[in-house]
Amino acid sequence: MSQTSQRLSPKDPAYRWHVLARVLTAALGGYLISACAGVFLSYALPLEPAQGVVAGALVSFALFTAIVMWVFAAASTRRALVWVWGVTGVSVALALWLTRGVLL
């Protein structure tokens, strides 16, 4: 029976780099995705502006939590990095397009 992925020891420096990559991806990528989702929802929901902002913020908190859990549950660090940073790029572009660059 062949094993496709290596199991790293917690004392191995590569293991520590994988954990650091997941922590930074979860924190920074999760924040950017959830912030952009909050901006998108505040503009897209057919609510009063104040209610749209509150609804967007509430959804962004749940989304951030889900992203952090998924990053640490992903099968590989590479998969987590590619998906989170890919979605981050798309969500930032969508938020900038939606606000017509006002966020800059």
**What's the pLDDT tens digit per position in 18-45?**
889 999 999 999 999 999 888 888 888 8
Distance CA(38)–CA(94), nearest Å, equals 12
pTM check: above 0.85 = no
Segments making up each domain of the chain, as ranges = 26-98
Residue-wise pLDDT tens digits, 65-100: 999 999 999 988 889 989 999 998 888 888 788 777
CA dihedral 55→38→80→87, nearest 10 degrees, is 130
Q: Are 87 and 32 in contact (CB under 8 A)?
A: no
